[in-house]
Amino acid sequence: MGAEHLISDRQRVKAYLDEELQTTTFDDLMPWYYEPCGVNGQYVRVSIRAIKEDLITEDVLLDAFIRSANSDKRPTVESWRDRWHKIIGTIDQMELNLPNYQQDRTFSIAYSLSANMPSAILPNTARHIARTIG
């Protein structure tokens, strides 16, 4: 689950996590409990396997998730745009031939140039990558 999307409402985050716990089987989960992630490794992705195997409680994960999402300083719009264009450049150099990438790329660049928020997305490409590594 992604951080900023749900944090304004703890009950909504809990409902999302409950749904994940109820609908996910062990076969759906990666074999690890956690992995570093983020541009500089400043986050840790925790698998719900840790809850399903009773290593931590749902409340412990939920509290840590909310604290970490609310503790990170967000970049300025300008610094995010600069970073996003570097990301797009890297993806372009990799020549991955991702489905819908050109459409997503055009959308994300136009969005990042016109929006007042530091976010840009590649919706179709992100879904493809999630399905591929899922």
Closest by alpha carbon to 6, among 84, 80, 68, 51?
Answer: 68
Q: Indicate the average pLDDT of the chain.
A: 75
Higher pLDDT pick, 90 / 124: 90
Residues 22 and 82 in one domain: no
Higher pLDDT pick, 4 / 102: 102
Would you say 41 and 28 are in contact if contact means Cβ atoms under 8 Å apart? no
Residues 67 and 93 in one domain: no
CA 81 to chain centre: 18
Cα–Cα distance measured from residue 23 to residue 48, given in angstroms and rounded to the nearest whole number: 11
In tens, the pLDDT along 38-97 reads: 767 777 888 999 999 999 999 998 888 887 776 666 677 788 778 878 888 888 899 888
Q: Domain tally for the chain?
A: 2
- Residue 8 belongs to domain spanning: 3-71
pLDDT for the residue numbered 66: 80
Cα–Cα distance measured from residue 41 to residue 63, given in angstroms and rounded to the nearest whole number: 20
Q: What is the pTM of this model?
A: 0.53
